[in-house]
Every structure is written in structure tokens, then in C-alpha cells.
Structure 1
Amino acid sequence: MSATTLIPSDPTMVKDFATVFARLKPHMGVLDVFLRGQLESFEPEIREMADYCIDTSGKRIRPALVFLSGWNGSEVPAQELVRVAGVVELVHLATLVHDDIMDEADLRRSRRTASRQYGPEAAVLLGDALFAHALHLAAQFPTTEVCYAVSDSTRKVCAGEIVQTLRRGTTNITREDYFRVIDLKTAELFRISCFLGSKLGGFPSEFVDAASRFGRHLGIAYQIYDDLADFFGQEKQIGKTLGTDLQSGKVTLPLLALLERLPADDRALLVDEILRRREPDLAGRLRQMSELGIFDMVAAEVETELVHAEAALGPHGSLAPVGLLMQLCETLRYQVRNLRAPAGV
């Protein structure tokens, strides 16, 4: 069975996130002005560094989730949505800065990572400064609910990063461990983006709960896709250093599945690579993943989460945000199918 048969195909679907987000161009323009305006709040000595991070923020999926979850058809975004979109984007940027330090990654959005640009010691503090400013902005809402929700989510994201860091260089990881980490480090920001967008958009509490569940499942699906792309993607297409998970000893779902399916001798060699006892053989691991059907297995997990995401929104199909959010599921399906297979496969 090929990966294509696992992921349903719809010829009318949107094939990339940029196209889905095209209707948000006015919203993203206002958000960009807002984020640039925040640079003045940073000390002069680090403004250039903060600007560098904002300039490499990529697709801005999380702010888009805020705008789409709060969508009312207007081309002019509500200021509350812009502000909270800025908050979640700053939290996300902070996590990327820290991630790239721990992964020893060279590229992010086809540019040098902040760690490579400024050094890991300065970059880790830059990430902290971005976190702090996000919470500062959240505290400016007239209700404490926003600041409470953002700070709670930020703590969970950090907890996920900590657990993942402590488990680097070990193979004592179960699938439950893996899903717990990505629920915290990735899905939580997707969830809070949908929660805050629908909440500030004035939608009923039943939809706010449904949008939150949608965001969580979409976030899990997206992280599994991202972990798959680390092995099967193309660096030019993905825009970041590939193979960093194996290089840094991070056991993601593709590696877990490979460990489960390899014969004992090959499994022992892979364990040595994860524990950094020997140089990683990325090309060899890609061949084994292809031979053992790892791509299809991981792609099926993405599909499972997307089905759950769609089911959460099913009862609310008459509301304006639902069709737009559903498009994201189809787009991610296409992105999974579009990952290249290893050379020669």
C-alpha cells in the first residue's frame, strides 16, 4: 500500500497553506505591523535579534488559526484578534529559537537559525525575552482569562520541551511518551490559538470547545507530519535542516516505528546512532524506512488525527469558520503526500 492510498485525495483541495491563508492577507498585514511595532518594547541592544526572529517566522499557522477560528467574514481583523495572534506567534518563535539550539540546526525558513547567527548562549536568552514579551502583551487584555490561558499554555509548551530534552539520546521511549510530548510542545499552541480565536470572535461556548479540540488534533497531526518530513522531505522545500532528529538523538515516531520493525542486529546499530556512539547513517535509515513501510504507517497516524479534528467541527458546519478550518486538514493531507521518497525508491 502506498502513502497515497492512506490519505484521501480531493482534486479541488488547496495544496499549500499559503493559498489557504491568502484570504487572510489583510489580517497578516496588520499582524506584521503589530509585531514590528513591538520591537520598540525590546531593549535597543537586542532589537535587531528580535527582528531577525520575527522576519523568519514562516507560514504563521498559529496566528492564522486565531483569525480563522474567529472568522466573521470581515476583511478588517478585530484588534483583539490581532493582539492575541501576536501573542501566540511570539510564544511560537521563542520555542523555535530554543528548539534550534537543542537540535544544533543550521537553517530555519531557509535562513541561519538564531543560534547560528548569534550563538547558542545569546539565543537561549533571546527565546526567554520573546516568551516574556508575549506574556506582557497577554496581560494587557481587559480580562484575565487571556493571560491565564496563554501563561498556562506557555508552561505546557515548556514542559514538553523539557521532557523531550531529557529524553534525547535515549531509546527508553514509548509511543505514549511520544504523543504526550507533541501534545504539550506543539498541539497546545494550536489548541490555544483556536480557543482564543473563537472565544474573542464571540462564538458560542460549544463551538469554542469544538474549535479547541480541532486545534489539538490538527497540532498533533502537524507535528507527526513535521517529524516525517525530517526524514522524507527536501531541505529546499521544507526550508530547514533535515535529519536533525537522528543527529540530535531525538526519537520521533518514524524512528520509533523503525526500532519496532528492525531485526535485532540492525536495531542495535540504530540504538548506537541515537545514543551517539556511532555516526548516524541517514541514507541507510531512509532505505530501511522505505523497505519496512514506515512512511505509510506514520502517514496513517496523521490521517487518524485529521479525522478526529474534522469530527470535532462536524456539528458546527453552519458557522463561518468551519469550512476554512476544514481546508487546513485537506492541505495537510496534500503536504504529507507531497513528501518525496528516498532516492532510488
Structure 2
Amino acid sequence: MPAASNNTPGNTANDASPRSVAQDFATVFALLKPQMTRLDAFLREQMTGFEPEIRPMAEYCIDTSGKRIRPALVFLGGWTGDAEDAPQELIRAAAVVELVHLATLVHDDIMDGAELRRNRRTAAREYGAEAAVLLGDALLAHAVHIAAQFPTTEVCAEVSNATRRVCAGEIIQTMRRGTLEITLEDYQRIIDLKTAELFRVSCYLGGRLAGHPLPYCLAAAEFGRRLGVAYQIYDDLADFFGDEKRIGKTLGTDLASGKITLPLIELFKRLSSDADRAALTDEILKRAAPRPDLRIQQMNTLGVFEAVSDAIHAELRAAEAVLAPHATLPPAPLLLRLRGVLHDQVMTLKKDS
């Protein structure tokens, strides 16, 4: 984990064990419990806006919500010291980003052929891929509908722009599946769009709607972007090293679908023989059946886990640095402590490997 700044209050990630980091993360989320309760109630109210025929499908997606990190970033980005008195605008903004996120998950699971999400059948498996595509579209449309009800056009503009960028990232990645035409720069561009963008806009909108100074809001946005990049790299690492029951979703889909992520980029770079590289190429191009056990063994032997883990921590250090000038504002210490979940999860992956 990156070194902590000595003058950053509430930051215990410097020398904390995985257990204490997990407790720290739980403490932060405990502070958000009133806001999360209001968010859940607001999302339930939104279900009445869906046509009766598809309302159970929308409710199914709401019920498979996970850690709700993006709404948490809205609340933390706009933290003023009292979750009980958080303005309703923060609740609505959190609902917007959560609905956008849920829509992208529905679409992701279709493209990945995933069976599980949050230890339940994915919407695609429950209702069929064709209906799930349209369900994702309906969730996106309702998110924009909520965003359009803010008195300022900034929320709708930010959310619609972010949604387009998320879709662009997914399109680019989809077009590169089953090919070797992806560089490290391409990979970084894809995850910046498809994952980091929603983290960015969550932190930014939280700060803006809470009335925090613009320089802080811009710094919080960059913090969110860096955190989002780190989170996606972690997710790609977990696809190889994670425990499916613990994580709660189908794993091993990246190699099987020909999706090149940082673990595969690093592995390909480290394979020393032409035969090994040719074999991996055949798997990516779907000319041969994927051999995930062999690839994980090679990743362990060749130091891929450590290299990818280092990339995660580099992003977390950059996230910390951008917030340093705003450390005295109420949200900054809590946002910095939120990084602990990634440290915790990476350490758990290492133990599982």
C-alpha cells in the first residue's frame, strides 16, 4: 500500500494489516448508513416509473446491487460532516450513477456470457440476452430522466457525457476482443473510459452538489478517476486469481472471451519461448481452448501478480497525491480511507493465489 501522508487525518493505510484496513473501510461505510438507507428507499420509489410488465426485471437488477461504491463516492465526495442531514440532491445523484452502473453490468454480463452476478443469476440468464439488452437501455434511460430533473443542467450534462464515455470504452474493448491488437496504452484508455469515468463523475457531482469549492471538486474528480483505474485493474487481476464464491460473480471470462487485460499483457511480455507465446496467442484468438490453470501458474511463476499489484498501488498513490492540497476539507480524509478496500482485496487475492 502507498505510504501515507503524516498530516492526513484518518489515513491508516500506511502500516495497517488487511484486517485493520477492512475495519477502517467498514467504519467509513457505517458513517454512510443513513444515506445508503435513503438511497435504497429512493431507488425503490423509482421502480414505479417503470412499466408494470418490466418492473420485476428492474427490481431484480436493484436487488443484485453490490457494494455500491459509486454512490458511496457521491456521498463521500460531498461529505460535510453529517450523513443524517445530507441534501436530497446527493441521494438523487447517487441513484443516477448507480442506475447507469447497473445498466452497464447488465450489458457486460451479456458480452461476457457470465452466469453469476452477486451470487445470483445474471439478468441475461434470468430473462434472456435479448430482453436484458433492452433492460439495460431502460435503466440508462431512467438514470438520465432523474438527472434531467435537477434545476441545473450540469448534472444531466455530466452524467450523459460520462455514460457516452463508458459506452465508448466498452465498444473499443469489444472491437478488440479476440485480437492481439491492443497495447498497454490501449488498455489504459479502455479502463479509463469504461470504469474510471463513473468513479470520476461520482466524486465530482458529490462535491458540486454539496457546495464545495471548485478546485476541490476537480481534485476529487481526479481522485475518483485514479481510484477507478485501480479498481478495474484489481477486477482484471481477480478474474484470474479470485475466488468465485467469495467475489460473487463468474470469473475466468477474460481469457475465454479473448479480452486482453493487464495480467495477460504482462504474462505475454514475460513468456520467454516462442512456443509459449504462440500457445497463448491461440487461446486469445480462440484457435485453442483456454487453459486458465496453466496461465495462472505461469503468472505466479513469472511475477505477473506482483507487477499488476504494483500498478494498482501506483494509481492509489497518485490518487492520494491529488487530494493532498485539500486534506483539511471534510471529505478528503474519508475518500483517502476508502482506498483501503482495494488494499484489502488485493491482499486477499494474494492469499488465495
Q: TM-score, normalised by structure 1?
A: 0.95
Q: Distance in 2 between matches of 1:15 and 1:230?
A: 25
Q: Distance in 2 between matches of 1:89 and 1:161?
A: 17
Q: Choose the corresponding residue for 2:316, options 303, 306, 309.
A: 306
* Structure 1: gaps of 5 or more residues: none
Q: What pairs with 1:146-185 in structure 2 (closer than 5 Å)?
A: 146-185=155-194
Q: Does 1:87 align with 2:96?
A: yes
Other-structure match for 1:10: 16
Deviation at 1:267, TM superposition (A): 1.0
RMSD (Å), alpha carbons: 1.7
**Equivalent residues of 1:15, 1:334 under 8 A apart:** no
**Equivalent residues of 1:17, 1:59 under 8 A apart:** no
The letter of the residue matching 1:68 is L
**SS of corresponding position for 1:59:** coil
**Equivalent residues of 1:62, 1:193 under 8 A apart:** yes
Q: Choose the corresponding residue for 1:30, options 13, 17, 38.
A: 38
- Which whole-Å deviations, capped at 9, do the CAs of 1:133-188 have from their partners, x for residues lacking one? 00010000001111011100000000001001111111111000000000000000
Other-structure match for 1:269: 279
Q: Distance in 2 between matches of 1:8 and 1:335?
A: 16
Q: Distance in 1 between matches of 2:185 and 2:328?
A: 35
* Structure 2: gaps of 5 or more residues: 4-12
**SS of corresponding position for 1:14:** helix
Q: Choose the corresponding residue for 2:331, options 310, 315, 321.
A: 321
Q: Distance in 2 between matches of 1:228 and 1:238?
A: 12
Q: Distance in 2 between matches of 1:24 and 1:339?
A: 27
The letter of the residue matching 2:347 is R
Q: Choose the corresponding residue for 1:59, options 40, 57, 67.
A: 67
Deviation at 1:278, TM superposition (A): 1.2
Which structure 1 residue ranges, 4+ long, deviate > 2 Å from structure 2?
11-20, 340-343
- The number of residues matched between the two structures is 340
Deviation at 1:16, TM superposition (A): 7.5
Q: Choose the corresponding residue for 2:52, options 21, 44, 49.
A: 44
Q: Distance in 1 between matches of 2:111 and 2:76?
A: 32
Q: What pairs with 1:1-345 in structure 2 (closer than 5 Å)?
A: 9-11=15-17, 12-15=20-23, 17-76=25-84, 77-262=86-271, 263-340=273-350
Q: TM-score, normalised by structure 2?
A: 0.93
